[in-house]
Every structure is written in structure tokens, then in C-alpha cells.
């Protein structure tokens, strides 16, 4: 009985592969922006890179009427991010000081929210990029587990920095209602059969994917 009440319905018409993108990447992005961040139309959101969480966050932000600035390591991916609705894009390999570039793109104000998937290697730039009183959702640690944090800037800008682990069943139900209403579908880069699981991990390790990688059996 307890297990039965832990499930939610998938969005109507979604395949199992598509629905599998919801429970971790999508739900975490939803909670970061909508539940913890209180996202509203007209807000600005910074997403880092083009992995599963960041693209789900981009889609949620656009669905909610927010403007998106996205970073990526390649020009080809930046073009695809613009096609998905990012208003501005920054190549973080070419522009190491991308936090400052975000400030320029927002006329010195900074973004309302950052979906932080990099961790110690990106957090300082994210603190530069966010507005006074803005929200940074610390979701991932792609650049490592520990590092320096510019605490005085964090304090002076009165930034809300929140770590989070996915979301609740209720959050997922709300997210699924929003997905059904909006009609957006997840971006799946490649699908692998279970017996090619190692290839799926190799693709993720290469960082060449855009969005989600799915394993099916
Ligand atoms: N807290 C939670 O509940 C939760 C939930 C889901 C995921 N996570 C964590 O969140 C992180 C992202 O997950 P994911 O599934 O989206 O991973 P993913 O799909 O493997 O994303 C990898 C992408 O991140 C980008 N990236 C890597 N290093 C970067 C950097 N220094 N600056 C900016 N972008 C960088 C790259 O994008 P480009 O190729 O475009 O440069 C890379 O392709 C992971 O650490 C994961 O463990 C946490």
C-alpha cells in the first residue's frame, strides 16, 4: 500500500523512455526553479551546460515565461540551446569569466535564478551572475566535491544558496500536470539497449551528449 502511493502517473502519451527523464533530472529542475525558486513569468534563469538537468530547466523556464541564458562548451550545442529558446548563450570554454558576461547581458542586474550543476568549479561565477537576493540551486558537483566559495560576495549580494536532492511525489505530480498542459517533450540524445549499458556510460563520460541518455530493455 505504501509503495503504491509512492508512484505517480506518467504524462499522457509519453513513452517509458520519455517518462524516465522525469524522476531525477526533470523533477530536480522543477523543484529548483518552481518550488524552491518561486519562478514566475518575466524572471531570468541561468542554466549551465547542456546535460539532462540543465535542458529540463531550460524547458521549464521557457514554459513558465522566463528568459534563459545558457552556457555550453561547444558552438554547436549553443546553437541547439538557442533553438530550444535560450535568449543568450555563452561558451564557457572561451569566456572563463562568464559570470561577468551574464551581468553584462542583464544590464548589470544579474539573473534571478541559477541552476548550478557544476559545483566548486562554477559556483564563484554563478554567485557573480546572480542578482542581489537571487536564488542559486546547488544541484550537481560535476567539477568536484570541494572548493573555495566567495563567501563575502555571497553575503553582500544576500544570495539564497540551496542544496537539493530531487523532489517529492507532490512536486512530481505538479510537474507532470505542467508537462501535459505545455506539451513539451524531453530531449533524448541517444537510446541504448541494456546489454550496451557500458556504451551509454561512455557517452555520458565523453560529455558529447545533449540532454538525456536512455537505457531500454
Ligand atoms: N541533486 C539532485 O537531486 C540531482 C539530480 C540530478 C542530477 N544531479 C547532478 O547534477 C549534475 C548534472 O546532472 P546531469 O544529469 O544533467 O548530467 P549530464 O547530463 O551528464 O551533464 C553533463 C553536462 O554538464 C555540462 N558541464 C560539465 N562541466 C561543466 C562546467 N564546468 N560548466 C558548465 N557546464 C558543465 C556539460 O555540458 P556542455 O557539453 O554543454 O558543455 C556536460 O555535457 C551531476 O553532478 C548529477 O550528479 C543531482
The parent domain of residue 49 ranges over: 14-211
Region 202-217 average pLDDT: 97
User: CATH no. for residue 131?
Assistant: 3.40.50.720
Is residue 1 domain-resident? no
Average pLDDT of the segment spanning 51-76? 98
Does any ligand 1 atom lie closer than 6 A to the CB of residue 51? Answer: yes
Q: Is 217 within a domain? A: no
Mutational pocket test of ligand 1: of 21, 47, 48, 53, the residue with most ligand atoms within 8 Å of the beta carbon: 53
**In the predicted structure, residue 165 carries a pLDDT above the cut 60:** yes
| Mean of pLDDT values over 44-66 | 98
CA–CA gap between residue 47 and residue 35 (Å, rounded) = 17
CA atoms 27, 211, 48, 69: torsion sign: negative
Would residue 146 count as lying in a domain? yes
7 part of a folded domain? no
Atom of ligand 1 nearest to the CA of 212: 19
> Which of 140, 201, 209 maximizes ligand 1 atoms within 8 Å of its Cβ, making it the mutation to test the pocket?
140
**Does the structure show a pLDDT above 70 at 23?**
yes
Mean pLDDT score, 71-100: 98
The answer to the question of residue 119 being in a domain is yes
Closest to 211 (Cα-Cα) out of 14, 15, 50, 16: 50
CA–CA dist 29, 51 (Å, integer):
12
Instruction: State residue 77 phi and psi, 5-degree precision.
Output: -70, -35
Whether residue 57 has pLDDT greater than 90: yes
Q: How far is the CA of 2 from the centre of ligand 1 (A)?
A: 32
- Residue 122 near residue 47 (C-beta atoms within 8 A): no
Atom 26 (ligand 1) nearest CA:
49
Tell me if 37 is assigned to some domain. Answer: yes
6 pLDDT band, cuts 50/70/90, is confident
Residue range 80-109: average pLDDT?
A: 98
Q: Is residue 200 part of a domain?
A: yes
What is the per-residue pLDDT for 5? Answer: 78
- Statement: residue 80 has pLDDT above 80: yes
Q: Confirm or reject: Cβ of 49 under 6 Å from ligand 1.
A: yes
Query: What mean pLDDT, rounded, does the chain reach?
Result: 97
How many structural domains does the chain have? Answer: 1
In-domain check, residue 71:
yes
Amino acid at each position: 500500500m505504501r509503495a503504491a502511493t509512492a508512484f505517480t502517473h506518467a504524462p499522457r502519451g509519453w513513452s517509458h523512455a520519455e517518462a524516465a527523464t522525469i524522476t531525477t533530472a526533470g523533477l530536480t529542475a522543477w523543484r529548483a526553479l518552481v518550488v524552491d525558486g518561486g519562478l514566475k513569468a518575466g524572471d531570468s534563469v541561468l542554466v549551465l551546460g547542456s546535460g539532462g538537468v540543465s535542458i529540463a530547466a531550460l524547458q521549464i523556464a521557457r514554459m513558465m515565461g522566463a528568459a534563459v541564458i545558457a552556457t555550453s562548451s561547444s558552438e554547436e550545442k549553443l546553437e541547439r540551446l538557442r533553438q530550444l529558446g535560450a535568449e543568450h548563450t555563452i561558451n564557457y570554454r572561451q569566456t572563463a569569466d562568464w559570470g561577468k558576461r551574464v551581468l553584462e547581458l542583464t544590464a548589470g542586474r544579474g539573473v534571478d535564478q541559477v541552476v548550478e550543476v557544476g559545483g566548486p568549479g562554477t559556483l564563484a561565477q554563478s554567485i557573480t551572475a546572480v542578482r542581489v537576493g537571487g536564488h542559486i540551486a546547488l544541484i550537481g558537483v560535476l567539477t568536484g566535491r570541494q572548493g573555495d566559495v566567495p563567501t563575502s560576495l555571497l553575503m553582500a549580494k544576500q544570495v539564497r544558496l540551496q542544496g537539493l536532492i530531487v523532489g517529492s511525489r507532490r512536486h512530481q505530480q505538479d510537474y507532470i500536470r505542467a508537462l501535459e498542459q505545455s506539451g513539451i517533450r524531453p530531449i533524448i540524445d541517444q537510446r541504448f539497449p541494456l546489454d550496451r549499458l557500458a556504451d551509454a556510460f561512455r557517452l555520458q563520460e565523453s560529455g558529447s551528449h545533449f540532454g538525456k541518455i536512455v537505457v531500454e530493455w
